[in-house]
Structure 1
Amino acid sequence: MDALKDSFSSLSIARRLQPSKALYILDVSLPVCDSNFLAVSCSNHSVHLYSRETLRLLAEFQGHTAPVCGVRFSHLSPNLLFSGSADGTLRCWDTRRPDSDPIQVFRSDSTHSYCSFDVSCSDRVLCAGTEQVEEDSFLVFWDARMVQEVETGSKNGGLLGVFSESHGDDITTVKFHPQQSDRLVSGGSDGLVNLFDLSLGGEEEALVSTCNCNSSASSLCWTGKSLDQLLCLTHDEGLHLWDMASPESDDRLTLFSSPDARTLVQLPGETSLEYIVGGAWLSDEERILLVGGNSDGELHLLDCSETGLRLIKSLSGGHSATVRCFKWDVIGQALLTGAEDGQLLQWRPGAEEICVGQKDSLKSISAMQHKAKAHRKQAVNKDRVKMP
């Protein structure tokens, strides 16, 4: 834990981006390579592109007509940025063309509303998880290399197929393995976390393991020195850490599990942990970083291991409302956080604050509904997925 403490003990606000209008920041993404970009999704259905170093606004991409469920940079090209939405589209944006239309649009059935998505490490496959439609929920796959005719082109161009039997409720999170392009995990409101090996064929063959988190899964993260462990967080603040090195084995090991991770750590004074923002594997420190918070915007950085949670550092004076997302910038050695106050903050060791944008702090805007259930008749060709 010493290396983790050394990394975060002197964090303070370096830059504060104030919103020009009331909105939530829902998700943040960074390119894998050394690129001066970072992207966020916002509650007004837009995607913003900022300078990684200065937080200066570079572009605003508009086109989604429903809540955006996430943003992801291409693994191989920092000039490509993907976004997914409940409007039933995944969109690919060219970061070199500010404020332009998407260069690709991916769709499936008209009744599909996406609430999660991810891009494989090879950039060859896109996967989106849908909300439940009638009795079914779907994992939808596309060949990301297929050139789509934007808006007017073939509706299902690039569609590889769907999995429809593995989840019985909304598929709330999907995550490709960082190094193995055929390995995918999905989690849903049904409490199931499924591991797939897409190289094995159709859904029945590809499903190699199922875990139960006994709640609605909110996020999944590959962890461990060999990236063969899986961290699962739930919407009711549960935490599970599984060893997935031998997923076909009946002796799959639960390394750690708690139905309420908030009870595992003692904070100083009368402060209590109200929610978990998310988790991340820090490869340099070989530790899991967990970020929790309070409704007033205070953040708590936690070390997560098989023995439980330990407080590393509390961060105050930044956000004024619930924090929705974070990202550790390995290249810039900075922590990025976004919240319901609309602020994007950059934290660096020993930094002095520079304000970017509006000077007046915005409190949290009124609660907004970011998710609409779909209950329309579903008819879709349940194709087997054949990876390109």
Structure 2
Amino acid sequence: MSDFNKYCQEAADEELPDSEDEEDIGDEDTCSVQELAAQFRQKYKPQDEASVSLQREYVLCLSADQGFTRIAAGLSSSAMHIYNLDAGAGKLANFSFLQPTDSPKPVSICGIRFLDEGPHNIVVGTTDGYVRLYDLRLKGEQARFKYSHEYREWPVPKSMTCFDRNANGRVICCGTEQYQSNAFLLFHDVRERRQMGCYCESHEDEVTSVRFHAQNPDLLATGSVDGLINIFDAKEADEEEALTSTFNTESSVARLEWHRNVYDKDIVSCITTTGDFKSYESEEGDEVASFQRPDVTAAIRRKNAANFNLIGAHNQEDGGVFLLAGTNFNKGEILRSVSVTGKSELQPLANFQGNKQIVRDSLFDAKTGLLVTGGESGIVTVWSQETGATLAGSDKLKVKKEKKSRKQAPY
């Protein structure tokens, strides 16, 4: 297991402090209950909850199909729960369960993705280096992808840290831990069940996030412990030609997401391991927004940045972006969101009352306004909005459109 995954595993396995210890640490809101209600105008409540296990397991990652009708939850045991979601009622129903990976060594899930537009095909990545394809209508795995040593003269790490599939479900890209001063991006062809190639020179430390663009199957963003965000044109076989942009976050990258503003410009955002948030225009390279941990802590109206937990950045239907954040204080009781309204401005957005755990991952459906969270108490929660307020928009600086490339992809 890589150093980054070991850190995450140990942090999650640590016993939560008791109430006396929490009082010594100290944390509280920076304003009154009345002021909170006035500032966080959107109110969310738990619509439904499901416990993934009676054992001490926690939810590492979540994924939803394109229609937001099926939710997959990957557990710390490498098992996976799959639920049907009635979006209208906000209710979860058990659908399927995939057993933990049978391995002599400890194995953890490092990602789950539905493969295509439907709710049936799902790919699961595990830290032992495998990506497994399942058809939920059939029994057993349908395919398995792993690095082949025939492609290069030297071996790559056996441990995989992250993966993603592209927009048309044809290509899988896997990130690895550091090996001999390099980290690897491995590409697999899903239909032909073969390895396509790899990039191995753009990151010098463990790859922590791999994200394909939601519409462009060739556009790939990768992040690493080395602090770099790299943008690739993945149809290029040569790594030097494929690398189109590089951003230095001056931190360690934890999570990447793609966004598109109202002017149809692609934005890539980053959450760092220190809880900072940064976003960039993927083509022109301009910094769109940058907020340090204390900035977001203050925006959710909490006092102690040491307890702060930045969970995710989500797209809104109007092109805006909001950040979901909470605290580790009192077992994650505080869960709130803020809207990114400019390069250096955050506005209070929503308050999620009744949270029971430290949240590790989240999903948001802009059409229905439903939020799904999973975390360290092993609970999958569906949140619904109590009011019909419109989500705040994003910064609307006008930018010119670039011409699309006419190069043909080789796959």
Report TM bin, short chain: 0.7 to 0.9
User: Which residue number in structure 1 is paired with residue 268 of structure 2?
Assistant: 230
1:16 has 2:88 as partner: no
> How many pairs align?
330
User: Which residue number in structure 2 is paired with residue 134 of structure 1?
Assistant: 180
Counterpart residue identity of residue 83, structure 1 = V
Shift in Å, 1:202: 1.0
Shift in Å, 1:63: 5.0
Q: How does 1:1-388 map to 2 (within 5 A)?
A: 9-21=42-54, 22-32=56-66, 34=67, 36-53=69-86, 54-62=91-99, 64=101, 65=103, 66-97=107-138, 100-109=139-148, 111-147=157-193, 158-225=194-261, 226-246=264-284, 252-260=285-293, 262-263=295-296, 265-268=298-301, 274-282=308-316, 284-295=317-328, 296-297=331-332, 298-305=334-341, 306-319=343-356, 321-350=357-386, 387-388=410-411
Shift in Å, 1:124: 1.0
Structure-2 change in CA distance of 1:266 and 1:193 (3 Å): closer
Partners of 1:265 and 1:309 within 8 A in 2 = no
| Superposed CA RMSD | 2.3
Which ranges in structure 1 are unaligned for 5 or more consecutive residues?
A: 148-157, 247-251, 352-385
SS in 2 for 1:205: helix
Structure-2 change in CA distance of 1:253 and 1:38 (3 Å): same
Q: 1 or 2 for the larger relative contact order (CA 8 Å, sep ≥6)?
A: 1
Partners of 1:293 and 1:299 within 8 A in 2 = yes
Partners of 2:366 and 2:410 in 1: CA distance: 31
User: Which residue number in structure 1 is paired with residue 19 of structure 2?
Assistant: none
Partners of 2:78 and 2:169 in 1: CA distance: 24
Partners of 1:198 and 1:387 within 8 A in 2 = no
Shift in Å, 1:77: 3.0
TM-score by length of 1: 0.79
Partners of 1:14 and 1:346 within 8 A in 2 = yes
Partners of 1:201 and 1:140 in 2: CA distance: 12
Partners of 2:302 and 2:226 in 1: CA distance: 37
Shift in Å, 1:134: 2.8
Shift in Å, 1:262: 4.5
Which ranges in structure 2 are unaligned for 5 or more consecutive residues?
A: 1-37, 149-155, 388-408
SS in 1 for 2:240: helix
TM-score by length of 2: 0.75
Partners of 2:132 and 2:340 in 1: CA distance: 34
Shift in Å, 1:274: 0.6
Shift in Å, 1:15: 0.5
Partners of 1:177 and 1:191 in 2: CA distance: 20
CA distances 1:102-145 after superposition (whole Å, capped 9, x unpaired): 11110005742111100100111100100112322100000011
Shift in Å, 1:261: 5.4
Question: What percentage of aligned pairs have identical amino acids?
Answer: 27
More helix by proportion, 1 or 2? 2
CA distances 1:254-308 after superposition (whole Å, capped 9, x unpaired): 12223435456344475766110011122x1321021011112221111123232
Shift in Å, 1:326: 0.6
Structure-2 change in CA distance of 1:263 and 1:29 (3 Å): closer
User: Which residue number in structure 1 is paired with residue 12 of structure 2?
Assistant: none
Counterpart residue identity of residue 311, structure 1 = P
